[in-house]
Chain A
Amino acid sequence: MANKLQASSGASSRQNIKGYAFISPWILGFIAFLLLPIAMSIYYSFCDFNPLVKSGPLFIGTANFQDLAHDPIFWKALRNTFWYAAIAVPSSLVVSLGLALLLNMRIPGQPVFRTIIFLPSLVPTIASAMLWLWIYNSRYGLLDAMLDRIGITGPGWLTTTEWAMPSLMFMSLWGVGYTVVIFIAGLQDVPRELYESAEIDGASSIRRLWHVTLPLLSPVIFFNLIMAIIGTFQVFATPYAMTQGGPDRATYFYTYYIFDNAFTNNKMGYACALGLIQLVIILALTGIATWSSKRWVHYQGR
């Protein structure tokens, strides 16, 4: 008996070693490229760290965070990012859900419509930015040409402080293809019999949407919400290519400010402090969303 147990424990430890050996590339990669940079970034956020200074980072305690409290550009970038997220996150969810519902209907040419909606997501961000620069162009742009036809003169979409941010928000809807695909996958998982029962009970299509589709789709909505929050707080490439954060920093986003501090101003410590705050904000918002999800996310089989 004792021999049997010993043999089985030996086999299990051999199995464990094999298991660890198989996952070791990931563990090493995780430590080297994620855990260590995060830990160093946290340390650097308490340092005056110019990567070009030979003496290396100089520990300055919480000075970076104190400076941030009095930095008008930090507050402006933070305000811009929150404002963008407040509009772009719900609108992209609503638009993509609406599109998913339409594309889930059994109509002729359904795969073609799905492809058309998904295609813009495949266009690289910078290429999309170039395209939209032309769409927003007041002399040759498609948007102003259409508005002109109904007698409206378009504003300077990207050159006025009032319109630059809404223009970027509107443009963000261009890339909802991925979210739509996830919603469609979720919609296909909704059991048909629930719709049939609701129909027998006399529920209208609006009621079926409200009482059947949305509750059963809530885990997917929750997932897309979290991804959208994270995505909007990391917006960088589009304003970098289209507006360079202007005019008058109207489209200057938080990640843009991190980039400028790290790679233009060589203030890596300050950039790390900004990054740490960004992490805390994203974690807090994700936490709030997760906490609130208990009330509105319904998992099947629970």
Chain B
Amino acid sequence: MQVAKYIILSILLLLAGYSLIWGPRAEFTPTKGTVVIQYWEKWTGLEGSEMEDIVNKYNQNEGRQKGIYVQYLSMANVSQKTLIATAAGTPPDVAGVWDTQLAQWASTDALEPLDDFVRNYSDYKLDANYYKSVYWDACHFNGKLYGLVSTPANIGLQYNKALFAENADALRAAGCDPTRPPRTFAEFDRYAAALDKKQGDKVFRVGFAPMEPGWYAPQLPFWFGGELFDQKTQHFTLTTPQCVAAMEWVKSYSKRLGAAALNDFRNGLGDFASINSPFITGQSVMELYGPWSANYIGLLKPSMNDPTNPAWMDANFSTLPAAQRQAVLDRHMAKPWQERQKLAQYAFAPFPSVYVDQLITPRHTVDQLTDEELIDNGVTYCCFDVLVIPAGSKHKKEAFDFIAYVNRTDVMEKLCQLHCCTSPLAHNSPTWLSNHPNAYMSVFDRLTRSPRAHHLPIIPIWPEVIDELNNVCQRISLLNQEPADALRESQDILQAKLDQFYARHPEARGTNGQ
């Protein structure tokens, strides 16, 4: 028995020794003199590995030439970990966080300003003209640049074309055209009501539900011509008629469908990133959504991208070998974007806005509105992930070199296509739109160039603001409080919090947040 024990132990020791000496090695070991920078990123899973590919390319080419090696660490809760590491004085050199944190961190000097780096960068010209203004402006706080975009998105109307066709009679009966999306709020409400499927007190399908998924419900005032915050006066504007109108609209859907029935319905919905996503299952016909949805649809229900894909594939796509999956996706991508648009069972369009509503006159009816009018008067909300250099980084120059590399046109386009996102760049390559996995990228792209493209208000206490606004939306959609009252209460709470923040951190007060 003793002998057997020693034999097993020796085998294990031999195996461990073998692994140490001849075991797997990192693809590239930085040579002496190479500056190693730490890059922490929030993306895990597919998005994480796509970014890893970009990091590896940098390490193999530009990084190797310049003597920089990026150590990539994909992690959950990146902002909390970066916060603790920065507070401890050992931050990563580059952190991939959200736009929602930029002003909060910049206001306390926790981020390195990038203006000098941008000015001195020589590989290509990085300046305001290089970016779409909505993204460039949102990267600033009190006149200083604190981050550069990694992958951005913007929000529009996602709708299920197949369900429009399936319910063509009901839509026509409601005075709607089933071959196109709604263009005005009045139309939108009619479409939504016609597409609802209700039996007694039970809702089985919603044409639209403001809280499904509800991520952008707090930003709805933008589509109603309102703002959440006045950057110049540093005051919240939640009690303006436009904000109240937006929340009244949220309330109207709960009233029409019944708050209890709607809650019961929402309680049964699956996760947005699963085959049970309400848009994929057809339980939610129209949504306020971003372009990345096309990626999820392609992976979760290929027949929605292309009905010629066999039905069995929908249920088993994720279990297919990677090469087979990629072949299906490649076959789809090989088609011209116009054909992909035709094949897709879903589509994207500008979400209705009061600006479009205002164009309607007895002589210029809704059916006469041109695409240009719809886009030029369209509203969108632009959000993004951002690369920053936390204060205390040991290798700022090298960190910026990597950030600038990610922002290089070809790299940025590749990343945005992989993540199925909008491009933050003012000028893209000629194939950018046609090669994008979302065949409707032109809609999103044009919306980001609209003068009514909004970024989130630049407020140092934004995480508290969005938490409060999300609760306001929930309260209103549950019919627990009148919109005007809820907004007035929140206005007072948030203004008091912001004023207190500035009283304690007067240096953070900006005049216009830019």
Contact = CB atoms under 8 A, between A and B. Distances in A.
Interface stretch (A5-13, A47-55, A115-123): A47-55
A260 interface: yes
A60 B504 CA distance: 10
Contacts of A161: 478, 480
Interface string B259-277: 0100111111100000000
A260 B504 CA distance: 20
A254 interface: no
A205 to B, nearest CB: 43
Interface string A21-65: 000000000000000000000000000101111100010100000
A157 B269 CA distance: 13
B464 A265 contact: yes
A43 to B, nearest CB: 16
A264 interface: yes
A263 B268 contact: no
Contact of B268 (A72, A140, A266): A140
Interface in B473-514: 474-475, 478, 480, 493, 500, 504-505
B498 to A, nearest CB: 12
Interface in A95-123: none
Contacts of A60: 504
Contact of B263 (A54, A139, A159): A159
A67 B471 CA distance: 21
B59 interface: no
B267 A137 contact: yes
Nearest to B475: A248
Contacts of B79: 263
A297 B266 CA distance: 48
A219 interface: no
A264 B86 CA distance: 14
Given A72-B493, A266-B83, A266-B108, A247 B478 contact: yes
Contacts of A290: none
Given A48-B504, A160-B478, A139 B493 contact: no
Interface string B192-234: 0000000001100000000000000000000000000000000
Interface string B17-33: 00000000000000000
Contact of A248 (B83, B87, B461, B478): B478
B83 A52 contact: yes
Interface in B453-474: 461, 463-464, 467, 470-471, 474
> Which applies to chain A's interface (DSSP): helix, strand, loop or mixed?
loop
Interface residues of B, number: 36
Contacts of A72: 493
A51 B267 contact: no
Contacts of B87: 51-52
B105 interface: yes
Given A139-B269, A155-B260, A156-B267, A52 B105 contact: yes
Contacts of A154: 264
A263 B260 CA distance: 34
Contact of A50 (B108, B263, B493): B108
B80 interface: yes
B108 A52 contact: yes
Given A153-B201, A249-B471, A138 B108 contact: no
Nearest to A247: B474
Contact of A156 (B108, B264, B463, B504): B264
B109 interface: yes
A246 B475 CA distance: 10
B94 interface: no
Contacts of A53: 108-110, 505
Interface in A242-258: 246-249
B297 interface: no
Interface in A160-201: 160-161
A266 B504 contact: no
Nearest to B276: A140
Interface band, chain A: 20 to 34
Interface in B74-111: 79-80, 83-84, 86-87, 104-105, 108-110
A89 interface: no
A139 B105 contact: no
A51 B83 CA distance: 8
Nearest to A71: B493
Which residue, of A52, A158, A263, has the highest number of chain B Cβ atoms within 10 A?
A52
Nearest to B481: A248
B52 to A, nearest CB: 25
Contact of B264 (A155, A246, A260, A266): A155
A160 B464 CA distance: 23
B267 A54 contact: no
Contacts of B269: 139
Contact of A265 (B260, B264, B461): B461
Nearest to A246: B474
Given A48-B504, A52-B105, A260 B467 contact: yes
Contacts of B475: 248
Contact of B260 (A50, A51, A160): A160
B389 interface: no
Interface string A257-287: 0001001111000000000000000000000
Interface in B115-152: none
Contacts of B264: 138, 153-156, 159
A136 interface: yes
Which residue, of B84, B201, B202, B470, has the highest number of chain A Cβ atoms within 10 A?
B470
Contacts of A155: 260, 263-264
Contacts of B493: 72
B391 interface: yes
Interface in B280-307: none
Contacts of A138: 264-265, 267-268
B172 to A, nearest CB: 30
Nearest to B84: A51
A263 B108 contact: no
Contacts of B464: 265
A247 B201 CA distance: 21
Which residue, of A48, A58, A139, A249, has the highest number of chain B Cβ atoms within 10 A?
A139
Interface in B419-453: none
Contacts of A247: 263, 474, 478
Nearest to B496: A70
Nearest to B508: A53
A51 B248 CA distance: 39
B483 to A, nearest CB: 14
A54 B474 contact: no
A139 B268 contact: yes
14 contacts: A51-B84, A51-B87, A52-B105, A138-B264, A138-B267, A156-B264, A158-B267, A159-B264, A159-B267, A246-B471, A248-B474, A248-B475, A248-B480, A265-B461
Interface of A: 48, 50-54, 58, 60, 67, 72, 136-141, 153-161, 246-249, 260, 263-266
Given A58-B504, A67-B500, 9 more contacts: A52-B110, A53-B109, A138-B264, A153-B264, A156-B263, A156-B265, A159-B266, A263-B79, A264-B467
Nearest 3 Cβ contacts at the A-B interface: A139-B268, A156-B263, A51-B87
